């Protein structure tokens, strides 16, 4: 049985994630806890975005991290290409286009915003089970259930 395919825009968007955060997502993907169903990296990446957006003041948290931590990393750090779900891309694109990412502030790219979400979750969530719970909620929401699941954990 085929899954329904949505109209003209692809559901998944290409992005990049800095290598350390990408490796961490790959480790979670390979984790024995990632079962039934086994979530792929785009699901885990989307879960990280959703978790950050469930915190109080997501823009403040993200831009503080970008301006104080990520900015100190080597700007030529390797990146890995990955896919993310459109709904999460749109959340990050909103921040990328926001006044907080315009003059006189530094301008951060989509891969930096994406990487920041993963790094923040990696630092704040000791237990990866929250990522799997959020991935389940996001998947249910994307398929017509769990209204609002992408923005909050525990719908």
Query: Where is pLDDT greater, at 112 or 142?
Result: 112
The pTM of this model reads 0.86
Query: In this structure, what token pair is assigned to residue 36?
Result: 């039934």
Query: Is residue 17 a contact partner of residue 101, using CB atoms and an 8 Å limit?
Result: no
Which range, of 56-65, 74-83, 140-149, averages the lowest pLDDT?
140-149
**In the chain, what are the domain boundaries?**
17-142
DSSP one-letter string for 52-77:
HHHSSSHHHHHHHHHHHTGGGS-TT-
Over residues 1-21, mean pLDDT? 72
- Look at the block and give the residue holding tokens 């006044």: 99
Angle between helices 41-54 and 86-96 (to 10 degrees): 50
**E strands within 5-108?**
12-18, 79-85
The pLDDT value recorded for residue 97 is 96
The pLDDT value recorded for residue 36 is 84
89-102 pLDDT, tens per residue?
999 999 999 999 99
């Amino acid at each position: 049985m085929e899954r329904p395919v949505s109209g003209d825009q692809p559901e998944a968007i290409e992005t990049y994630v800095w290598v350390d955060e990408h490796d961490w997502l790959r480790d979670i993907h390979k984790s024995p806890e990632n079962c039934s169903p086994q979530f792929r990296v785009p699901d885990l990446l989307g879960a990280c975005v959703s978790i950050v957006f469930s915190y109080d003041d997501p823009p403040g948290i993200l831009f503080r991290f970008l301006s104080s931590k990520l900015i100190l990393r080597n700007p030529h750090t390797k990146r890995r290409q990955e896919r993310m779900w459109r709904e999460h891309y749109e959340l990050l694109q909103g921040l990328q286009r926001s006044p907080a990412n315009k003059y006189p502030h530094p301008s951060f790219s989509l891969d930096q915003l994406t990487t920041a979400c993963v790094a923040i979750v990696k630092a704040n969530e000791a237990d990866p089970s929250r990522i799997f719970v959020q991935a389940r909620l996001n998947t249910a929401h994307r398929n017509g259930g769990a209204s609002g699941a992408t923005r909050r954990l525990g719908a």
